[in-house]
Amino acid sequence: MVGSAVCRRLASEPGTKLITRSRAELDLCDERQVNEFFAEHRPATVIFASAKVGGIHANKTFPVEFLTDNLRQELATIHASYRNGVKRFLFLGSTCIYPRLAKQPIKEDELLASPLELTNEAYAIAKIAGLKLCQYFRQQYGVLYHSAMPTNLYGPGDNYHPEHSHVLPGLIRRIHEAKANGEASVTIWGTGTPRREFLHVDDLADAIIHLCQLDNPPDWVNVGTSTDVSIFELAKLVASTVGFSGEIKTDTSKPDGTPRKLTDTTLLKSTGWSPKIGLHEGIAATYRDFLKEQSSGNLRSK
Ligand code: GDP
């Protein structure tokens, strides 16, 4: 999802030669394959958009895979980059690297200040390791390896799996199906009170290119909108976009996760970047993309 958005964004950037590989073509967990690929192509800049990701349920259910797949991909790719002369590396993480009860809005220096949220601890530990490895390479070997920590993302190419997706694609799919089936109500997970911040993936792609053009970028920087909504408000927004007027019920047997993760984006703003896509217009565009992907048989749901 993020990689495709970066490619769309770079299509309009003159003088860029893009080198991409799909998961089927290159297994980033395989250090030997990754090293051979880098030795052959010798990219100048690497944007590391690959990760094993998922929503609260997937993270809680598969901590072994979330930790090991991500660590293996990061180690293989960062080492192969250094060995093959990559001067600039942009590592992508997530704001779930911050503590469960981080001070809100969350500044970058909240990292490792107190315990993590347990529902996504394995993923967070892998992403903290990647961020720190980039910081250490920069400090020890003088290469420009740095990181961006986006808030919850949405947009074209998202995963619409009924259980393993994140909340926004999960709700788009469930509420769309409730409307199509003429149901009187729809059920969302948890209490509906946690608050989340959402960033359109095209805004993230633009921020990534901006960061890659800075001479002295921060070691890691939050990428977000600095505004959040409750999950219940989000469900109402999706329902009005989809045109579903039934009741919205909550299922409190499902986990809420962290109560709030609102980013402080002062640092990013100070470098001259702000997001452009508002949540209402972003959800409307994403619902149109969902309908298009669904009717063409390209909806990702694994
Ligand atoms: P998180 O931001 O890492 O907690 O990940 P998610 O995007 O999966 O979940 C965000 C919040 O939305 C949590 O409080 C979930 O309980 C809530 N939620 C409500 N309905 C859904 C749903 O259908 N799918 C998901 N993934 N989360 C949901």
Q: DSSP H helical segments within 62-217, as ranges?
A: 63-83, 121-141, 167-180, 201-212
Q: Mean of the pLDDT values across residues 27-51? A: 97
CATH number, position 75:
3.40.50.720
**To test ligand 1's pocket by mutation, which of 56, 186, 199 has the most ligand atoms within 8 angstroms of CB?**
56
Count how many domains the chain has.
1
**pLDDT of res. 6:** 97
- The verdict on residue 301 lying in a domain is no
Cα(80) to ligand 1 centroid in Å equals 35
**pLDDT of res. 13:** 85
- The verdict on residue 35 lying in a domain is yes
Q: Please list the active-site residues.
A: 123
Q: Mean of the pLDDT values across residues 252-279? A: 97
Q: Nearest residue CA, atom 17 of ligand 1?
A: 189
- How many Cα atoms are found within 13 Å in the side-chain-facing hemisphere of 23? 10
| pLDDT level of residue 19 (50, 70, 90 thresholds) | very high
The total number of residues shown for the chain amounts to: 302
58 has a pLDDT exceeding 90: yes
- The verdict on residue 302 lying in a domain is no
Cα(50) to ligand 1 centroid in Å equals 21
**pLDDT of res. 248:** 98
Single pTM value for the model: 0.96
Q: Nearest residue CA, atom 27 of ligand 1?
A: 167
- The verdict on residue 109 lying in a domain is yes
Between 163 and 135, residue with greater pLDDT: 135
**Residue of 62, 120, 250 lying closest to 174 (CA atoms):** 250
- How many Cα atoms are found within 13 Å in the side-chain-facing hemisphere of 45? 15
| pLDDT level of residue 142 (50, 70, 90 thresholds) | very high
Cα(71) to ligand 1 centroid in Å equals 24
Q: Which two structure tokens, joined as six digits, stand for 20?
A: 């991409």
Residues with Cβ within 8 Å of 291's Cβ and at least 6 positions away in sequence, in order, are none
Atom nearest to 96 CA in ligand 1? 3
Q: Could you tell me if 138 and 145 are in contact, meaning their C-beta atoms sit under 8 angstroms apart?
A: yes
Domain of 239? 2-296
298 has a pLDDT exceeding 90: no
43: preceding bond cis by omega (within 30 degrees): no
Which residues sit with their C-beta closer than 6 Å to ligand 1? Answer: 55-56, 96, 120, 152, 165-167, 170-171, 174, 188-190, 194, 196, 231, 254-257
- The verdict on residue 159 lying in a domain is yes
Q: Could you tell me if 257 and 56 are in contact, meaning their C-beta atoms sit under 8 angstroms apart?
A: yes
**pLDDT of res. 52:** 95
- The verdict on residue 44 lying in a domain is yes
**Residue of 255, 264, 262 lying closest to 118 (CA atoms):** 255
- The verdict on residue 210 lying in a domain is yes
